[in-house]
Amino acid sequence: MATRTPPQAVVFDWGGTLTPYHDVDLLDLWRVAADVLAPEQAPELADALAAAERAWWESAVATGRSGTTADVVAAAVASTGIPVDVALHDAALTAHLQAWSPHTVTDPEAGPVLRALRKRGLRLGLLSNTHWPRAWHESWLARDGVLDLLDARIYTSELATLKPHAPAFRAILAALRIGDPTAAVFVGDRPYDDIYGAQAMGMRAVLRPNAVVPAYDVRPDARISRLSDLLPLVDGWLNDRGTPR
Ligand SMILES: [Mg+2]
């Protein structure tokens, strides 16, 4: 019977996993971008930006095709026909992501848990489904003192596909130099993107349940209610060498 390798790496999702889930008003957060792009028609453009982001996520989930926030802004601007100076796009994106910043605070348990996992000799990674640029994610992680605790960080805005598709998982496993996916544990809050996707690769998958995300018929290897629950779980797997799966 096949055996699972003891864990050599733990890979985390970001939103709802390393950060508490925030149910934010996306229209408010897009309004600041619309104010930069077209102050006179900001409400109409904010609606278009929020709609373009919803459409982008729907398409990304359905097709697996990734993209960037710049794609979302360009699609929204094109859909309204409002004349906008393309040179303002970067400033609008900055305003939007600045408005997001207060909602990106890392779970206070993350730092201690990541340090404790590193002490066990485990390599740590981040794999986030996102259209945001790496620089913003990394500034938030650095602000909260956890950036350097994550040996490799993959953002799907830099890839062709998102979770749950295999290339996204392969990218983080390669970055962590993990040749055997069964030696990696994935921790996430989305049953489809995270748990189904990681298990399809052969990884152990730990669910941090989130009532707001879509359900999916999948059975995680374990559930945690807080990040610190990971430590006894991983210790069990580290000590459980050669157990039949
Ligand atoms: Mg998530």
CA of 16 to the centre of ligand 1 (A): 5
Same domain (yes/no): 63, 177 = no
Residue 3 domain-assigned (yes or no): no
CATH of the domain at 214: 3.40.50.1000
- Tell which of 74, 102, 130 closes a domain: 102
pLDDT tens track of the chain, all 245 residues? 456 789 999 999 999 999 988 778 899 999 999 999 999 999 999 999 999 999 999 999 889 999 999 999 999 999 999 989 889 999 999 999 999 999 999 999 999 999 999 999 999 999 999 999 999 999 999 999 999 999 999 999 999 999 999 999 999 999 999 999 999 999 999 999 999 999 999 999 999 999 889 999 999 999 999 999 999 999 999 998 655 44
CA of 190 to the centre of ligand 1 (A): 6
Position 241 scores a pLDDT of: 62
Whether the CB-CB separation of 7 and 243 falls below 8 Å is answered with no
Q: Domain containing 197: what range?
A: 9-20+105-239
CA of 127 to the centre of ligand 1 (A): 10
Same domain (yes/no): 113, 77 = no
Same domain (yes/no): 209, 134 = yes
- Tell which of 54, 76, 102 closes a domain: 102
Distance CA 163, CA 199 (A): 12
Same domain (yes/no): 202, 138 = yes
Same domain (yes/no): 211, 148 = yes
Residue 1 domain-assigned (yes or no): no
Distance CA 188, CA 13 (A): 5
pTM (predicted TM-score): 0.94
Same domain (yes/no): 98, 153 = no
Same domain (yes/no): 120, 223 = yes
Share the mean pLDDT of the chain: 94
Counted domains in the chain: 2
Position 240 scores a pLDDT of: 83
Q: Which residues surround ligand 1, an ion (CB under 5 A)?
A: 13, 15-16, 189
Same domain (yes/no): 131, 219 = yes
Same domain (yes/no): 156, 230 = yes
